[in-house]
Every structure is written in C-alpha cells, then in structure tokens.
Amino acid sequence: MFPIAIATKGKGFIGALKRVGSISRRYGATPEKMDRMMIRFRDILQEFNGRATFPVVATALMRGNGFLDKHKTECIEFTAHGYLHIDHTRLSLEEQGAHFTLARHLFEQRGARCEGIRCPYLRWNEDTIEAIRQYGFLYESSQGLAWDVVDHHNTEAYRRVLEFYGTIPAEHYPSLPRWDNGLVRIPYCLPDDEAFVERLQLNSTKVMTEIWLAILDETYRLGELFTLGLHPERIFLCEVPLIETLRKAKEYSPGIWVARLDEIARWWKTHLERTFETSKVGEDEYEFSFDGPAETTILTRGVEVRTPVEDWDGTYQWAKGRQIRFRANRRPFIGISPSSASWLSDFLSQQGYIVESADDDQFHSFFLNRPEFRYEDERPLLAEIEQQDFPLVRFGRWPSGARSALSVTGDIDALTIWDYTLRLFGK
C-alpha cells in the first residue's frame, strides 16, 4: 500500500493533514533541528543515568551522513526502523529479508551494530518475524501493547490507531520479552508520545506524566517491562513526563533496571542459558547452585534459608551467592506433568521459575497439569503463582535484584523535512 494511503488509514484523513502541519514545524531543511532534539534527549538521559534505543529509518540515515557519529554515546543504541518507512505486511518474506539486509548493511557502513528491528507503523506479520529471525537479528520490538490508562481522555482517533497497529491489551497479556525460536521479542507500550499529541490531543504535561507514571507503577507491581515510546521529534513537547518518569524510576526499592533494548534482549537470551543443580543434603534440607551471569538474582519465599539472605520486597528474600542451602518439606519449585503443553514449561522458565517434570503433586509445593496453555493464559497463571504463598525458590526476572525494567525508545522516521517528504512516496 502506498505510504500516503497507509498514513491516512492509521490517522484518518483530517489527522493526516494535521500531521503534515506538525511535521513542517518539527523538521528543518537540514538535520540541525533533529540534532538539537537529540542533544536535549541525551542530556536528560545522562542527568538520570538513563539509557535509550532509537530505531532509525535506514535511508534517512544514509542521507544524514554523520548523524550516528554525532550522537553515539554509551547510553544510546541506534538500530533499524526498516530500510524504508513502509508497511512490511505488504511485502513477501523474501522482500522483507532483502530490506532488513540493506538496513543492516547501511548501519555497518557507518560503524554501528544493528541488532534489532522495529517495524514502521508497528505492523508485522509472521513473514516479518521469520525474516528478522533468518537474517540474524537479536530482537524485534513491533508488538504494540496498550495499557488501560487513558480513561476519559480516550478518542476515536486513538482507538483507530490501536486497531491499525494490531495492539493487544496489557490487562490480558504480560509486558515481557519472550524468547521465540532464536529471536527475542520485546513489546512496545502504548500510549506513547504520538498518542498523547496526535491521537488524544493532550495539551497538559501533567496528564501525560500521570499516564506514564501509572504504567510505571503497574509494570513495577507486576515485575514487568515498560517500553516508554518518545520520538525525538517531540522531546520538547514531552520532556516533562520523560523527566518525571526517569526521576520516579530511581526512587523504587527494589530498583528498576533502566536499559537499552539490546541490553534487555541480551539479558533475556543469556539468562535462559544458565544451569543449576539441586541436591538433598539432609532431612528436608537442600543445596542449590547455579552457573550463569554474575547479575543473576535468587529469590526465596516460605523456606528456611541457611545461607546469607536479605529482604527483597517483604514477600521474597534475596539469597546471596551462587550456592544456597535451605530447608523445605517439599521441593519449592514448580512441578509440571508430562502431559502439559510444551510452551508452559518454556514460558515459566523464561520468567525465572524453576520447573521440574512430575507425575503428580506429591513432591512439589506447586503442581500444574495443563494440556492446553495459550498466550491468553499467561497473565492469569503469573497472578496465580505470585498471589499464593506456597514455598518457592526462583530466579529473579531481571538482573542485580531489580524488580522491573524500563526502556526508553523512540523511532526516528526522518532527519529533515526532505526525508519525510520522500518517505510519503516510499523512498
């Protein structure tokens, strides 16, 4: 579909016209305006020890020679927002693979690693995921996840774009990465800055701040990931809610891990490679050891730990070291029947739970027999495990004792008004 038609479909005709006007105010004939926005964004990140990922349209990067060198820092990752800003669902598997290869090549020519993809318009299909996987990317972040936080600010324009993006509701689906056959898939949280300004027509930075802080609070309560979307072109409109969110994130204890998307993807991949052993060393006494990243966190509840621990959140204790000893009258892990769906064990392992095959509920403090387990069942199961008080030893989901994670991310669709104009014609 022609890019102009795509923009009209997502925004509506009136919204598309308004967008043209706002774009002309935010981009200049040269990258100078974008440079100022990036400098302001970077300054805010550095003030709060924040980190961010900016997916960039590769052809815009090609025309903006020197952009990456100018803005590369340790706190910023640049990655691909497609080769062109087009709807990838209109391309074949082979065409998508070719586009992703060209995008990566342009990044490499400019001395930058390109480890992830976010598709334009958050639109993808199974061929998209397969192409990203086949061409060796570490992660993708194109699944929109909508939080029920806009209340009476909701509009028809916002509802339309959620449908256009193919979003799923956070009340039913966890806001978590997932390891999917060699690819880490990371959700993108909504509402983002574009929703605030273009769809919900919010003029109050106070309301924007309240919405993002509500998502931060909920992801923290659930131990999940908040991918905060802020396009650099709107940093001056939305810097207050960004600043307040980063400030609040530093106040939580246990902490929030603030990281780039590539760091989150590498952690998710690496933490699944850990190994562990459990041996019985006495009457109801066990020794547990693991081999994995140094930042791995061991959490326990309802068991008598004989090695050093400290309180973590009032429910769990943080067991220190790579080897712990504890007493429990049943194995404080999750037993899963052989007849359960294969994804059940994989999903729980990704969350840090220690799962063991079991024929019945005699030996484990929690036992599952779920021949069917769907995507929609994940959040209810997590709530069932965490809201009960059976003895449990598990790995923390995030590194170094963090309870949840925050990743600031914003697409760079264009560097100049000329980039944006060319984008409308699929160039």
Average pLDDT over residues 204-217: 98
CATH code given to domain 3-252+405-424: 3.20.20.370
What's phi and psi for 206, nearest 5 deg? -65, -45
Give the Cα separation of 417 and 427 in Å (integer): 13
pLDDT the model gives residue 86:
94
Q: Which residue has the higher pLDDT, 52 or 16?
A: 52
Q: Give the whole-angstrom CA distance, residue 319 versus residue 392.
A: 12
Q: Is the Cβ–Cβ distance between 369 and 337 less than 8 Å? A: yes
Full-model pTM:
0.93
Distance CA 419, CA 337 (A): 56
DSSP summary character for residue 321: S
The per-residue pLDDT for range 321-372, each reduced to its tens digit, is 999 999 999 999 999 999 999 999 999 999 999 999 999 999 999 999 999 9
Q: Which of 54, 53, 61, 64 is nearest to 103 (CA)?
A: 61
Residue 154's beta-bridge partner residues? none
- C-alpha distance across the termini of the chain, in Å: 13
Does residue 241 contact residue 410 with C-beta atoms inside 8 Å?
no
DSSP for 42-91?
A: HHHHHHTT--EEEEE-HHHHHHSTTHHHHH--TTEEEEES-SSSS-GGGS
Task: Please write the tens of the pLDDT for every residue from 359-400.
Answer: 999 999 999 999 999 999 999 999 999 999 999 999 999 999
Q: Is the pLDDT of residue 7 over 90?
A: no
* pLDDT tens-digit map of 87-110: 999 999 999 999 999 999 999 999
Q: How would you classify the pairing of strands 323-327 and 304-305?
A: antiparallel
* pLDDT-based confidence at residue 420 (cuts at 50, 70, 90): confident
Q: What is the pLDDT of residue 11?
A: 55
pLDDT category at 267 given cuts 50, 70, 90 is: very high
Mean pLDDT of 272-281: 93
C-alpha 344/C-alpha 108 separation (Å) is 38
Question: Residue 37: which of 79, 76, 10 has the closest Cα?
Answer: 76
110: amino acid identity, one letter: R
Position 30 scores a pLDDT of 77
Dist. CA 150–CA 161, nearest whole Å: 14
Rounded CA-CA distance 223/226 in Å is 10
pLDDT at 1: 46
C-alpha span between 57 and 4 (Å, rounded)? 17
Q: Give the confidence band of 26 by pLDDT, cuts at 50, 70, 90.
A: confident
Nearest to 375 by CA among 143, 140, 92, 127: 143
pLDDT at 426: 66
3-state helix, strand, coil in the chain (%, to 5): 45, 20, 35
CA distance 383 to 379: 6
> How confident is residue 3, by pLDDT bands cut at 50, 70 and 90?
low
Residues of the chain with pLDDT > 90: what percent? 87
Mean pLDDT of 218-230: 98
167-181, 249-263, 407-421: the lowest-pLDDT one? 407-421
C-alpha pair distances (Å), 233 with each of 64, 194, 281, 407: 15, 10, 60, 18
What distance in Å separates the CA atoms of residue 265 and residue 261, rounded to the nearest whole number? Answer: 6
More confident residue, 414 or 23: 414
Q: How confident is the model at residue 15 (pLDDT cuts 50, 70, 90)?
A: low
Q: pLDDT value at position 14?
A: 53
Give me the chain's average pLDDT, please: 93
Is 291 within 8 Å of 274 (Cβ atoms)?
yes
Domain regions of the chain by residue span: 3-252+405-424, 274-401
DSSP, collapsed to helix, strand or coil, labels residue 299 as strand
**Cα–Cα dist 385/155, whole Å:** 36
Confidence of residue 312 (pLDDT cuts 50, 70, 90): very high
